[in-house]
A and B are shown apart, each in its own frame.
Chain A
């Protein structure tokens, strides 16, 4: 047992840190450190910088052009990016669909789709959730019927994150109604410029449109866009969900945001209020304990001994922590978190924010937005079902 990273891992970390420092555009880092709004262009710029270096698919094996890093190297890379103020890599392409294409796609599909994902040129979206499906993913209704060597897709997807920017979308579609709901689902890649697709942004409680509804009305999809076998999509979807288990905890971002919380609390004069400071202290222990939990999973992955199947715990705890820091930031600002001035959440606004602290502007919005974290990705109640199944049988 040893807490320290190896000298090789330390060097690796320092190399990443140096590269991020010179490569991450300052204006983007500024926005991330201050929770200002990121545009499509901000995300794309960073994605392409990573892509050029070969690190957008930082979890990819060498045979597909990735760096072939182990679990710890991936963690160190993600941590250095997060602490430096890099935006989260939009995961749908490089983290979610790419591993499915690698594992279950054919050679032609791999050659056709992976380069655009690796370079950050093509924006992918996820078409999993449907109206009414909630955390019950297998209840897919959106159907694909084979006709004249094509699939005709009809139905609706929803909660499609940043789908308004999407160029391609990977979808779970129903190709058969026989057997259990899990059978009869297929995994289809769909060009979002196809005729019959309508995307409507959903305005969320924070005023932003982070998610979308997507309608499919007799959309024609070439049969070559089916991944693997028809009716086996559920297996592929599960593979996708089991991929990258530790980053659902988002502990690296939590460390960065804990630093920001302390800065805000100092600015607002509540850092020296013992009642407030103790709440930060509790969160600090929560973050350290979560990091230890993540490191335990990484260590188990590295050595292959004592595998630690606690993805559910990581999701629950990570999301609770995200909600808590956003909550404390808002509470630190108190009444000055209440003015709703959209322009003040954009970088470069020169106005006079009520109370005089521009950093207060996005706090309530972030707090409202973070309520999603215990709902998405399998609600925390569903995660508790999974954990209790593991413990109680």
Chain B
């Protein structure tokens, strides 16, 4: 039982933090949002730091690192509210490296090193209309001519809120094949793909993606296990990202309260507001604790892992909403302007709550999974 970071992990943190502080200023972020909410240049800079290959094995050109490193990276990206979808890169790398028994080795060999280098960006396109956060709801279908060309699949269906969906290179797409939920790799420029891009509330980008008899590469016929793991990686990453955003939200709020004067004194002298800050600090530390918990449970057996992710995301949901709302309130009028950064933290925290399952969804998961005994180790 040890919650210290290694020197290597601290160095990784410093490297990402340096890039965020210098290379991803609030000004640059605003410009990226203005240009559509995604920057391939910024993504390439992240890849240059090695981050795109974080979860990809060294043999495939990645760094082969684990959940704690993932957490460290995502916390730092959260501090900068980085718009580029590193979470999806972590998920895609894991699925292709670990859950692709049916994919030809050639495909893995072709894609993994390029994902790791940042040359190719692959995101998960799993969400469908009416699915909300459920993972089994899938109307997309894929079929192949088993007699003549069993490896040539054609996929049809529509996926929603696909992150940077009209700018990425490929998607990992769940689709029903032979009565089972299978996973496919589909290139954005393949025939029959249409994308409709739009901005999201946090300033990033997503798209509605339609597949019409689109050529697809089978990754695995039994995709539920890999999809569940991918989503859990997404949850842990989102938890860490949320901690990073909340760290900064707290910092700007504290700074503001110590400078802003009302009735002749700094508003940080008012006890009603001080106690609010104490409550924010409580939520932040509970959230940080549960983000650690998520990272340290990410390699556990599937049942235990998913139960832990539900607990963690529930806590993060509660904390992110509280810290975000209170930060705006403590700033007063300036808190609801677009010009000042705190509203952007608030919107980011709100969006993170609704990413990979909101608070009520995960409360339901915790509730359904409850056992007689409970604790960190049960």
Measured CB to CB, the residues of A under 8 A from B are 1-6, 9, 72, 255, 258-259, 262-263, 274, 277-278, 280-282, 284-285, 287-293, 295-296, 298-300, 302-303, 305-306, 310, 312-313, 316-317, 381, 383-385, 387-393
A–B pairs, 18, beta carbons within 8 Å: A1-B9, A3-B377, A9-B1, A259-B372, A262-B372, A278-B367, A287-B374, A289-B315, A292-B289, A303-B4, A310-B285, A313-B285, A317-B282, A317-B286, A383-B278, A388-B277, A388-B278, A388-B281
Q: Is the CB of A1 within 8 A of B292?
A: yes
Cβ B363 vs Cβ A295 within 8 A = no
Assuming A2-B2, A388-B281, A392-B254, what are 13 further A-B pairs, CB within 8 angstroms? A1-B2, A2-B1, A3-B376, A4-B1, A9-B1, A259-B372, A291-B375, A295-B1, A299-B4, A300-B3, A302-B2, A387-B281, A391-B278
The answer to whether residues A262 and B370 also contact, given A9-B1, A292-B289, A296-B292 and a CB cut-off of 8 A, is yes
Q: Given the complex, which residues of B lie within 8 Å of A391, measured CB to CB?
A: 250, 254, 277-278, 281
Contact between chains at A303 and B2 (CB < 8 Å) = yes
Tell me the interface secondary structure of chain A in the complex: helix
Residues of B within 8 A of A9 (CB): 1
Shortest Cβ-Cβ A-B pairs, 9 listed: A292-B289, A388-B274, A281-B367, A384-B278, A387-B278, A3-B296, A299-B3, A281-B366, A384-B275
Q: Are A277 and B367 in contact (CB under 8 A)?
A: yes
Complex CA gap A221/B369 in Å reads 60
Q: Write the nearest CB–CB distance from B289 to chain A, whole angstroms.
A: 4
Closest to A79 in B: B375
Please state if B274 and A384 are interface contacts (CB–CB under 8 Å).
Answer: yes
- Minimum CB distance partner of B288 in chain A: A296
CB distance from B337 to the nearest CB of A (A): 23
| 1/0 contact string of B54-94 vs chain A (CB within 8 Å) | 00000000000000100000000000000000000000000
Q: Which residues of B contact A300 (CB under 8 A)?
A: 3-4
Which residues 258-285 of B sit at the A interface, judged by CB distance below 8 A?
A: 258, 268, 271, 274-275, 277-279, 281-282, 285
Contact A285 B315 (CB under 8 A): yes
Name the interface size band of chain B: 35 or more
> A316 touches which one: B258, B282, B290 (CB < 8 A)?
B282
Contact of A258 among B363, B367, B374 (CB under 8 A): B374
CB-CB under 8 A from B278, the residues of chain A are: 312, 316, 383-385, 387-388, 391
Question: Shortest Cβ distance from A324 into chain B, in angstroms?
Answer: 14
| B314 close to A (CB within 8 Å) | yes
B370 touches A281 (CB 8 A): yes
Does B303 lie at the interface of the complex (its beta carbon under 8 Å from any beta carbon of A)?
no
Interface pair A3/B1, CB less than 8 Å apart: yes
The answer, yes or no, to whether B133 is at the interface (CB within 8 Å) is no
B373 sits at the interface (CB 8 A)? yes
Contact residues, B335-371 vs A (CB, 8 A): 363-364, 366-367, 370
Contact of A392 among B5, B257, B376 (CB under 8 A): B257
Say yes or no: is B26 at the interface (Cβ < 8 Å to chain A). Answer: no
Q: When chains A and B are docked, how far (Å) is the Cα of A165 from the Cα of B295?
A: 48
Q: CB distance A281 to B282 under 8 Å?
A: no
CB of A148, distance to nearest CB on chain B (Å): 48
Q: Is the CB of B257 within 8 A of A313?
A: no
Asked if A288 contacts B279 (CB within 8 A), the reply is no
B282–A387 CB distance below 8 A: yes
> Is B229 part of the contact surface with A, judged by Cβ < 8 Å?
no
